[in-house]
Amino acid sequence: MTIIHFDQNGIARGVRFIHTPNCDSRPEGSPVELVVIHNISLPPREFGGNGVIELFTNHLDANAHPYYREICRIRVSAHFFIRRNGELIQFVPCTQRAWHAGVSCWQGRENCNDFSIGIELEGSDFEAFEAAQYKVLNTLLTAIGQTYPISGIVGHSDISPGRKTDPGPFFDWERINSNPP
């Protein structure tokens, strides 16, 4: 992947952008300071389909899979989604608040959506992530760190302990650039 640059609205140039209604304005005075890494696959533990895109754009067909009946009405999103093959998709401009963290707390601050960027990796808690995903993730983390005053990169499980487990035990923290410029 080439170098990523963000425009003034926080949209990565040259990256596929799919609009989601599942976002809103960040509270005034809430700069982006945190990156939260997640994993997701829809249906669970199946890769390559459009389930995540359909979930994030509120077009998930409840009849397409039994699990979808449980989740088709939730309204969630993330700023970015990195597929197993390294394809990067953006859903929410970095200047806006994506709905990815839910009930969360980081360094005594609640509502992490207010000041974070959410990155979803196509995967699960039960298998390793692909080299292509780490490569794109590191390129993205570098660009985010050059654009925003990031002071932490954490897993969803770190900000929602007991409630969330992602990115899971197979995520290799040693393979990421945890100190972006």
Residues marked as catalytic: 120
The dihedrals phi and psi of 136, each to the nearest 5 degrees, come to -65, -40
User: Which residue in this structure is represented by tokens 């490569």?
Assistant: 135
Closest to 154 in 3D by CA, of 104, 99, 114:
104
d(CA 169, CA 104): 20
Structure tokens at 38: 């997640």
> Which helix (H) or strand (E) segment is 146 a member of?
helix 131-147
